[in-house]
Chain A
Amino acid sequence: MLEASNLECVRGERRLFADVGFRLEGGEMLYVQGSNGSGKTSLLRMLCALTPAASGEIRWRGKPIGRLGEEFRSELCYLGHQNAIKEELTPLENLRSSAQLAQESLVPDAALEALELVGLRGREDLPCRYLSQGQKRRAALARLVNERRPLWVLDEPYVALDTAAVELVAGLIGAHLQRGGLAVLTTHQAVPIPAAAVRELWLGDDHAAPGGGRSRTC
């Protein structure tokens, strides 16, 4: 379903990685690993078509994602470094507005249940700026509870979360994979996720992939 070949990332004058390729089918998960600054976030942003690749191609259901455009974006759920929640809005409003943006209908009960699941019940009407860092992350992750789009791209989903929440998120990803979805994630915490197949991709100097990932100055 998701296929990448010969990807190269150039940031400024530095080549972060080259010759990166992988293939991911329904129910499979890709762990992108590597040291800080090895280009994990850049790779994820390429997969979302936010950043163009210096060379190489990414295909979704056999077609290049650049050409698919809106068709691809409606099947993609991206959670970046930043939480993408509005500090002035409450967790409930944030959840609702992101669902509206994705053109999904979210009944109020489902939204409240999602917030209860991530442990924000009782705080659903509190503006997000009063929440702690971990709670803000939970508010952002509440999106995943009712998320049915097939491709999840998650950048460091476990950051700022406590162990219980990490397990919860791992469970959400596992359930998503069991429904036949795909997930690409970066993390420095190894958390077991039940998946049909877990693929690993190493970026940077200590990589295992042939030929790829050497960072060098051009």
Chain B
Amino acid sequence: MLSSLRAVIGRDLRLAMRRQADIVAAMFFFIIVVSLFPLGVGPEPDQLRRMAPGVLWVAALLATMLSLPRLFADDHRDGTLEQLALAPQPLGLIVLGKVIAHWLVAGLPLVVLAPVLGVQFDLASDALAVLTLSLLIGTPALSGIGAIGAALTLGVRGGGVLLSLLVLPLYIPVLIFGAGAVDATVSGLGPQAHLSLLGALALGGVFFAPWPTAAALRVALE
């Protein structure tokens, strides 16, 4: 079980490394979207501090969305997805591997960038730490939930827009608790409650989402 999980993660990471342009594009998208806000809103530290969690989280959602359509589309096009579906392991396990690989490639860079970008918003160091922590806990949920949408829109023409319409509403809880954790820190309430709920969402997203995703993939392959 574990060895096949490792094999899928290793394969997807290797593929991502051969196609670094995709990763870099999503990262720059995140950087630019976040940096546009201070330029547009003006240099008022109070206002920026209040906006920061929401802006960073929304930008993280959108950056994750960018890479989602390709999660299964490439494998579908070259026939590898059929082979994955015919592998002796449960397809859900393979999807779990792909979700983990997607998070390592698309989610983790956002977590690393967030504290640097947060400085532009004059966030205090404890708020920066919570922001990074909330992204670290929350981004796996984005990959997991996004996988369901990516599988459902597989092979649909203009699937990218449909995918956003399908997945972004499902991201709302993650956004609320993620941004809420930072807000709670700034207002002195403490982020524990938000982070716990975020952790629950992430666990649910990563470990339950692969099964509906696998079912959707089997339908897409018919």
Q: Which residues of A contact B (CB under 8 A)?
A: 48, 50-52, 70, 73-74, 76, 78, 80-89, 93, 97-98, 100-103, 127
Contacts and interface: CB of A to CB of B under 8 A. Distances in A.
Given A83-B79, A86-B78, A127-B18, A103 B89 contact: yes
B82 A80 contact: yes
A87 B78 contact: yes
A163 B21 CA distance: 39
A103 B83 CA distance: 13
B78 A89 contact: no
B222 A102 contact: no
Contacts of B86: 48, 50, 73, 76, 78
Contact of B15 (A48, A73, A89): A89
B79 A82 contact: yes
Contact of B7 (A73, A80, A97): A97
The interface residues of chain A, by DSSP majority, are classed as loop
B80 interface: yes
A77 to B, nearest CB: 8
A102 B11 CA distance: 14
A103 B84 CA distance: 12
A84 B79 contact: yes
B4 to A, nearest CB: 6
Nearest to A143: B83
Given A100-B4, A100-B7, A103-B89, A86 B84 contact: no
Interface residues on chain B, size class = 20 to 34
Contacts of B88: 70, 73-74, 102-103
Interface of B is mostly: helix
Contacts, number: 70
Nearest to B16: A88
Contact of A88 (B3, B8, B15, B221): B15
Nearest to B77: A82
B157 interface: no
B20 to A, nearest CB: 11
B221 A50 contact: yes
Contacts of A98: 83
Given A50-B221, A102-B87, A103-B88, A88 B78 contact: no
A89 B18 contact: yes
B14 A84 contact: no
Contacts of A100: 3-4, 7, 11
Given A50-B222, A80-B79, A103-B89, 17 more contacts: A48-B86, A70-B88, A78-B86, A80-B82, A82-B79, A83-B79, A84-B79, A85-B78, A86-B11, A87-B78, A88-B15, A88-B18, A89-B15, A100-B3, A101-B87, A101-B89, A127-B18
Contacts of A93: 14
Nearest to B1: A103
Given A88-B18, A97-B7, A50 B85 contact: yes
What 6 pairs across the A-B complex have the smallest Cβ distances? A82-B79, A74-B88, A88-B18, A84-B79, A100-B7, A84-B83
A74 B86 CA distance: 8
B210 to A, nearest CB: 16
A50 B84 contact: no
A81 B87 contact: no
A87 B84 CA distance: 16
A175 to B, nearest CB: 22
A85 B74 CA distance: 11
Contacts of A51: 221-222
A7 to B, nearest CB: 15
Interface in B1-37: 3-4, 7-8, 11, 14-15, 18-19
16 contacts: A50-B82, A51-B221, A73-B88, A80-B82, A82-B78, A83-B79, A84-B80, A85-B80, A86-B11, A86-B15, A88-B18, A89-B18, A97-B7, A100-B4, A100-B11, A103-B87
